[in-house]
């Protein structure tokens, strides 16, 4: 079974703090993704990575950065946390699609509250 783990289930941070969210997958997947989920807005893609040290912006990258130094690990960084970044953050991974369909496997999520 694919396993995607996230460093924390719940996190409370203060405005202006630097926040690191870690994600690790154990299936040697090339692709990794960070989404945030908010009521009424669904899941929105923040960043994704298709290889080590490679990254692509998603729909809402502002205020976030990412790091992928190793294939199994993808980190989301909030450089200076703000209250509008209070959300559920979800990490996912998948094989590189190529010409086929590739399902994404999600972690349990991190509920971040910025006060």
Partner 1 sequence: DAKTTQPTSMDCAEGRAANLPCNHSTISGNEYVYWYRQIHSQGPQYIIHGLKNNETNEMASLIITEDRKSSTLILPHATLRDTAVYYCIVRASGNTGKLIFGQGTTLQVKP
Q: Say how many C-beta atoms besides its own lie within 10 A of residue 65's C-beta.
A: 13
Nearer to partner 1, 68 or 107 (CB): 107
**CB of 85 or CB of 110, closer to partner 1:** 110
- Mind spelling out the 3-state secondary structure of the chain? CCCEEECCCEEEECCCCCEEEEEEECCCCCEEEEEEEECCCEEEEEEEECCCCCCEECCCCCCEEEEEEECCEEEEEECCCCHHHCEEEEEEEECCCCCCCCCCEECCCEEEEEC
**Which residues of this protein are in contact with partner 1, per CB under 8 A?**
4, 31, 33, 35, 42-43, 45, 48, 50, 56, 58-59, 90-92, 96-101, 103-109, 111
> Would you say 62 or 103 has its CB closer to partner 1?
103
Tell me how far, at minimum, the Cβ of 46 lies from partner 1, in Å.
Answer: 10
* Least gap, CB of 108 to partner 1 (angstroms): 5
Nearer Cβ to partner 1, position 4 or 19? Answer: 4
In angstroms, give the least distance from the CB of 12 to partner 1.
16
Least separation in angstroms between CB 97 and partner 1: 5
């Amino acid at each position: 079974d694919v396993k995607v783990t996230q460093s924390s289930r719940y996190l409370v941070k203060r405005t202006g703090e630097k926040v690191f969210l870690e994600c690790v997958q154990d299936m040697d997947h090339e692709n990794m993704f960070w989404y945030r989920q908010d009521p009424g807005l669904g899941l929105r893609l923040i960043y994704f990575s298709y290889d080590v040290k490679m990254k692509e912006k998603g729909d809402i990258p502002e205020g976030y950065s990412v790091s992928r130094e190793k294939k199994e690990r993808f980190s989301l960084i909030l450089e200076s946390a703000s209250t509008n970044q209070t959300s559920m953050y979800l990490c996912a991974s998948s094989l590189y699609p190529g010409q086929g369909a590739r399902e994404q496997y999600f972690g349990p999520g991190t509920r971040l509250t910025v006060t």
